[in-house]
A and B are shown apart, each in its own frame.
Chain A
Amino acid sequence: MKFGVVVFPGSNCDRDMFDALSQDMNQEVIMLWHKDRDLSMFAKEDCIILPGGFSYGDYLRCGAIARFSPLMQSVIDFAHQGGKVFGVCNGFQILCESHLLPGALLRNSHQKFVCKNVFLKDTDNNIFKIPVAHGEGRFYADEKTLDDLEDGGQVIFRYCDEKGQVTDASNPNGAIRNIAGICNVNRNVFGMMPHPERATSEVLGNTDGRKILKDLLMSEELANHLA
């Protein structure tokens, strides 16, 4: 399989994602330009990644303009055809703005940008230490949507403490039900606020992000091979 990383004007985690996948995890990665439309080199099992940053300056609302870029039209089609799409931070915001994922990302409840290591747990209760870096990361949706997400097992990450307890104190932005990441019903579109690509390098002293990228994005066979 291969990865495509979309570069919007204002993307600033695109290179980090490229380095994490190509250097730390030895994957094939192609950089994609927002003005292009062609995704024909990607098959269904490949993955398009919307990286973090401030696409189009985050003017209007985070991700609101990126949604209308030429390449996003192709990415939306790709997702509807079952291709894998993964958004991190600003990428998650773009996925919500594009209605590929439900809900919205609101301004952090404490009104400030926050960058630090936090703890997450997945649906199997694996605990990860992963950095967050955002000003608008407070996930929000109405009660019905939230219940549907929970029932469908679509809440893929929640903020927790070091021991896995889901508490208010471990929630860095006030996200409803401590939600850090979700996926769509068909489980081919994923979004999360924390940055797994910032936790894949031994030199930086944290490789918890590798398992996240493997589990989410790669076929079981490939993930086992890497493990």
Chain B
Amino acid sequence: MEVTVKTAEQLRLTAAEFELIKEKLGRVPNFNELCAFSGMWSEHCSYKNSIKWLKTLPREGAKMLVKAGEENAGLMDIGDGLGVVFKIESHNHPSAIEPFQGAATGVGGIHRDIFTMGARPIAALNSLRFGKLEEDKTQHLLAGVVHGIGHYGNCFGVPTVGGEIYFDPCYHTNPLVNAMSVGIVKAGETVSATAEGIGNPVMFVGSATGKDGIGGASFASADITAESTGELPAVQVGDPFQEKKLLEACLEVIQTGAVVGMQDMGAAGIICSTAEMSAKGGTGMRIDLDKVPTRQAHMKTWELLLSESQERMLLVAEKGREQEVKAVFDKWDLPCSVIGEVTGDGILNFYMQGELEASIPAHELVLGGGAPQYDREYREPAYLQEIKAYNIENIPVPENLRSIADRLIQLPTIASKHWIYDQYDSMVGTANASTNAPSDAPVVSIKGTKKALAITTDCNSRYVYADPYKGAMIAVSEAARNIVCSGGQPLGVTNCLNFGNPFDPEVYYQFVQAIKGMGEACIKFDTPVTGGNVSFYNQNPDGPVNPTPTIGMVGLLEDINDKMTLDFKEEGDLLYLLGSSRNDISSSEYLYKVLGVSKSPAPYFDLAEEWALQQKLAGLIRNKNVNAVHDISEGGLFIMLCECGFNRELGFSIRTNQSVRKDAFLFGESQSRVLVTVPASKVSEFENAMGAFPCEKIGVVTSGEVLIDGEDWGSIDHWKEKYDHAIENYLIKEEAGSALASI
């Protein structure tokens, strides 16, 4: 087969990239080699349109044990000879086409990134975005994605402890499925994704290779169109049982000491793992592809190189110790075969039946090596002018705020997500301390120590759309705030940057500004970005999704008994609002979904003010001045009060602040505010501790009544009923459909 620029373009490489490949090789690549470049130089693997800006993020910190981007996931020191390994990754495009398998393999892939480093995953989170819940398509996607996440995570046996879900029409065609995994590793037991030691065997471990997921990496690097729904084979199929065995076997094989390096096979399969391990080790490999166990006959070289069959690992062992390695995988009934060896020439040579089928310098394929890096142009999007025209004065305060609260609490973005999270095993591992005592960020105990992790994912993409710079700062700040509200100290960040097409200058503007804002906030909170993932092309002919730079953040509690919860404890406890009330309803759920105003600025936010709030709050929690803490987020103060009351069925009576609009006080989403309760006996202590810090006493916890300025707004049970059942009421149709399908 003759390889031309047309072939390259069919493989989603540009004409200029084809020239570059010819230059690097000094010849025209054959089809196999071109496929290798197509996978490795795809956006997904090469970060070619983002790396320039990613490098500007704060990527260093005293507690970082590996450099950002150097390994499969971030690794940070948490003391006592332990490290936390964590990463978030997208599986948006596969989930749009095949929601069940797309989401399931997203979960499988992120866990592999954690245990390939030698860590045992202890918690999973996910950040999801869908279109309007009223739409049949959304209900189909939601049911499939949730089922997929549950199917994989429940069987794999790692608890899904938290996450977030938003519904907005911009995600109708392009849902976002971001999965995060967090693991714990002992110092000295980590494994690097490197190939070292000339002559060392390269071993292939795990499931046999099939034709599923071929071209997945380049598929994820294109817009979704009508044709792409015909690309079904580009979505992989997952087997969580196989991965559970792979986890146990990998952690066991590390104990033998015979492992030199290990990397999971995710995007771009064998070519990616061989190239990255070799490039990192400064070595090459000779691989006999016909020794790779396959589950389909007659697989071609390029198919073997690019297949994204799941639950596979590439492992480099010490020469002569192959049997020790094999014995562990035998015990777990997993295939394990030597498929090649490490060489010293830096070249990847792939053979089939003794014939050389592809020969490429490893270095030329990878990010930081030969992979191209682009500057993309950007310009301020036109819609930002419309946002600047917004004026709160043009919006009258509605008459009946109670009926507005009624609608607000039933909005899918705000209402209880129990229909979703009840389908996830959130308790396996017996370490989730938030099941019986909810907090802003789930708290997960680290067994064998007094320590715990507080973990969260956050991003309100409407804020980022309204102001990419400030919106990204808010995402980082909210993550840090959730951790501080739970009694933790923010440690580090992993990010999942979901954007539209980077060739659109307005989209790229959102990307650049979001990176700048994120970087500034991460410096302020001393939370380096340890790694993550970029997902561009979340776009369809109707336009891009809202810019969604999801922040995954991990925080540490030195003693799990320092954990803080969000539920009201007792009738008579006093309610205080920390931070300043403002005349601000910008970009709130209230303004957008209830009043129907789609373009307004990001809510009020000041980084210094936020930082001061979190410092103050950490002190109050440490000194036990407060007994419940909940930050103000989507839906505003009224919704937060309800959420605090639900767990023990306690209500609240509050006075609104007359200096701001009543709707802004109750439903505004102005940032850097936190609701706390204080037992009556500790009020003077609390007020002394507050000093001059902005804070207002707003009311008292009741036995169940809800009173706003003395007006009876019903009981907490009334609000809980609406909050608990809103989502399932939308889904009755879908449920009936799937029940029929299962007959």
Are A16 and B429 neighbours in the complex by a CB distance under 8 Å? yes
What B residues does A114 contact at CB under 8 A? 422-423
Q: Known contacts A113-B425, A114-B422, A114-B423: does B433 contact A205 (CB below 8 Å)?
A: yes
Q: Which of A10, A13, A56, A116 contacts B422 (CB 8 A)?
A: A116
Q: Which of B150, B157, B430 contacts A20 (CB 8 A)?
A: B430
CA distance A53 to B426 in the complex (A): 13
Are A204 and B239 neighbours in the complex by a CB distance under 8 Å? no
What A residues does B445 contact at CB under 8 A? 203-204
Are A115 and B241 neighbours in the complex by a CB distance under 8 Å? no
What A residues does B333 contact at CB under 8 A? 9
The answer, yes or no, to whether B560 is at the interface (CB within 8 Å) is yes
What B residues does A74 contact at CB under 8 A? none
Q: Which of B239, B241, B429, B436 contacts A205 (CB 8 A)?
A: B436
The answer, yes or no, to whether B739 is at the interface (CB within 8 Å) is yes
CA distance A124 to B433 in the complex (A): 30
CA distance A113 to B333 in the complex (A): 28
Kindly provide the distance from the CB of A20 to the nearest chain B CB, expressed in whole angstroms: 7
What A residues does B422 contact at CB under 8 A? 112, 114-116
Are B157 and A12 neighbours in the complex by a CB distance under 8 Å? yes
CA distance A111 to B333 in the complex (A): 31
In the complex, which range does the number of interface residues on chain A fall in? 35 or more
Question: Which of A95-103, A148-156, A179-187, A194-202 interfaces with chain B?
Answer: A194-202
Q: Known contacts A9-B333, A19-B430: does B424 contact A205 (CB below 8 Å)?
A: no
What A residues does B428 contact at CB under 8 A? 12-13, 16, 52, 133, 198
CA distance A56 to B428 in the complex (A): 18
The answer, yes or no, to whether A82 is at the interface (CB within 8 Å) is no
Interface residues of B in 388-433 (CB under 8 A from A): 418, 422-433
Q: Which of A113, A197, A205 contacts B423 (CB 8 A)?
A: A113
Q: Known contacts A54-B244, A56-B241, A57-B155: does B437 contact A205 (CB below 8 Å)?
A: yes
What A residues does B738 contact at CB under 8 A? 111
Are A201 and B430 neighbours in the complex by a CB distance under 8 Å? yes
Interface string of A5-27 (1 = CB under 8 A from B): 00001101101100110000000
Are B436 and A117 neighbours in the complex by a CB distance under 8 Å? yes
Kindly provide the distance from the CB of B97 to the nearest chain A CB, expressed in whole angstroms: 23
Are A10 and B435 neighbours in the complex by a CB distance under 8 Å? no
Are A9 and B245 neighbours in the complex by a CB distance under 8 Å? yes
CA distance A35 to B436 in the complex (A): 37
Interface string of B654-679 (1 = CB under 8 A from A): 00000000000000000000000000
Instruction: Identify the interface centre among A12, A135, A195, A201: most chain B CB within 10 Å of its CB.
Output: A12
Q: Known contacts A9-B241, A13-B428, A57-B239: does B155 contact A117 (CB below 8 Å)?
A: no
The answer, yes or no, to whether A168 is at the interface (CB within 8 Å) is no
Q: Known contacts A19-B430, A111-B738, A205-B437: does B245 contact A10 (CB below 8 Å)?
A: yes
The answer, yes or no, to whether A165 is at the interface (CB within 8 Å) is no
Are B427 and A58 neighbours in the complex by a CB distance under 8 Å? no
What B residues does A56 contact at CB under 8 A? 241
The answer, yes or no, to whether A131 is at the interface (CB within 8 Å) is yes
What A residues does B436 contact at CB under 8 A? 117, 204-206
Are A131 and B560 neighbours in the complex by a CB distance under 8 Å? no
Are A9 and B332 neighbours in the complex by a CB distance under 8 Å? yes
The answer, yes or no, to whether A59 is at the interface (CB within 8 Å) is yes
Q: Known contacts A114-B423, A115-B426, A133-B154: does B432 contact A204 (CB below 8 Å)?
A: yes
Are A115 and B433 neighbours in the complex by a CB distance under 8 Å? no
Q: Known contacts A10-B241, A19-B447: does B430 contact A115 (CB below 8 Å)?
A: no
Kindly provide the distance from the CB of A49 to the nearest chain B CB, expressed in whole angstroms: 15
Instruction: Identify the interface centre among B418, B429, B435, B445: most chain A CB within 10 Å of its CB.
Output: B435
Residue in B closest to A17 when the chains form the complex, CB atoms: B430
Kindly provide the distance from the CB of A115 to the nearest chain B CB, expressed in whole angstroms: 5
The answer, yes or no, to whether B255 is at the interface (CB within 8 Å) is no
What A residues does B423 contact at CB under 8 A? 112-115
Chain A interface secondary structure, helix, strand, loop or mixed?
A: mixed
CA distance A57 to B147 in the complex (A): 16
CA distance A131 to B244 in the complex (A): 22
Interface string of A127-167 (1 = CB under 8 A from B): 00001010100000000000000000000000000000000
CA distance A57 to B157 in the complex (A): 12
What B residues does A115 contact at CB under 8 A? 154, 422-427
Kindly provide the distance from the CB of B245 to the nearest chain A CB, expressed in whole angstroms: 5
Are A111 and B424 neighbours in the complex by a CB distance under 8 Å? no
Kindly provide the distance from the CB of B155 to the nearest chain A CB, expressed in whole angstroms: 4
Interface residues of B in 146-161 (CB under 8 A from A): 147, 150-151, 154-157
Residue in B closest to A23 when the chains form the complex, CB atoms: B447
Kindly provide the distance from the CB of B734 to the nearest chain A CB, expressed in whole angstroms: 11
Are A195 and B241 neighbours in the complex by a CB distance under 8 Å? no
Interface string of B263-281 (1 = CB under 8 A from A): 0000000000000000000
Interface residues of A in 200-222 (CB under 8 A from B): 200-201, 203-206
The answer, yes or no, to whether B742 is at the interface (CB within 8 Å) is yes
CA distance A102 to B427 in the complex (A): 28
Q: Which of A12, A19, A131 contacts B156 (CB 8 A)?
A: A12
What B residues does A133 contact at CB under 8 A? 154, 425, 427-428
Are A204 and B425 neighbours in the complex by a CB distance under 8 Å? no
CA distance A206 to B436 in the complex (A): 7
CA distance A205 to B436 in the complex (A): 6
What A residues does B432 contact at CB under 8 A? 204
Are A10 and B244 neighbours in the complex by a CB distance under 8 Å? yes
CA distance A207 to B254 in the complex (A): 35
Residue in A closest to B154 when the chains form the complex, CB atoms: A113
Q: Which of B430, B433, B560 contacts A198 (CB 8 A)?
A: B430
CA distance A9 to B331 in the complex (A): 10
Q: Known contacts A58-B155, A133-B428: does B332 contact A117 (CB below 8 Å)?
A: no
Kindly provide the distance from the CB of B59 to the nearest chain A CB, expressed in whole angstroms: 34
Kindly provide the distance from the CB of A205 to the nearest chain B CB, expressed in whole angstroms: 4
Residue in A closest to B424 when the chains form the complex, CB atoms: A115
Residue in B closest to A15 when the chains form the complex, CB atoms: B429
Residue in A closest to B741 when the chains form the complex, CB atoms: A111
Are B433 and A204 neighbours in the complex by a CB distance under 8 Å? yes
Interface string of B475-499 (1 = CB under 8 A from A): 0000000000000000000000000
What A residues does B426 contact at CB under 8 A? 115
Q: Known contacts A9-B332, A10-B155, A56-B241: does B425 contact A203 (CB below 8 Å)?
A: no
Kindly provide the distance from the CB of B380 to the nearest chain A CB, expressed in whole angstroms: 46
CA distance A54 to B244 in the complex (A): 10
Kindly provide the distance from the CB of B621 to the nearest chain A CB, expressed in whole angstroms: 18
Interface residues of B in 63-95 (CB under 8 A from A): none
CA distance A131 to B433 in the complex (A): 13
What B residues does A19 contact at CB under 8 A? 430, 447
Residue in A closest to B156 when the chains form the complex, CB atoms: A12
Kindly provide the distance from the CB of B124 to the nearest chain A CB, expressed in whole angstroms: 13
What A residues does B154 contact at CB under 8 A? 54, 113, 115, 133, 135
CA distance A163 to B439 in the complex (A): 26
Are B435 and A205 neighbours in the complex by a CB distance under 8 Å? yes
What A residues does B429 contact at CB under 8 A? 15-16
Binding site for A on B (CB under 8 A): 147, 150-151, 154-157, 239-242, 244-245, 332-333, 418, 422-433, 435-437, 445, 447, 560, 735, 738-739, 742
**Supplied contacts A10-B244, A111-B739, 20 more A-B pairs, CB within 8 Å:** A9-B245, A9-B333, A10-B245, A12-B156, A16-B430, A19-B430, A20-B430, A52-B428, A57-B239, A57-B242, A59-B241, A110-B735, A111-B742, A113-B154, A116-B418, A131-B435, A203-B445, A204-B430, A204-B432, A205-B436
Question: Can you pick out 24 interface pairs between chain A and chain B where the beta carbons lie within 8 Å of each other?
Answer: A10-B245, A12-B155, A12-B244, A15-B429, A16-B428, A19-B447, A54-B157, A54-B240, A54-B244, A56-B241, A113-B150, A114-B422, A114-B423, A115-B154, A115-B423, A115-B425, A133-B427, A133-B428, A201-B430, A203-B433, A203-B560, A204-B432, A205-B433, A206-B435
Q: Which 7 A-B pairs have the closest CB atoms?
A: A12-B157, A57-B241, A205-B436, A16-B430, A54-B155, A133-B425, A115-B425
Binding site for B on A (CB under 8 A): 9-10, 12-13, 15-16, 19-20, 52-54, 56-59, 110-117, 131, 133, 135, 195, 197-198, 200-201, 203-206
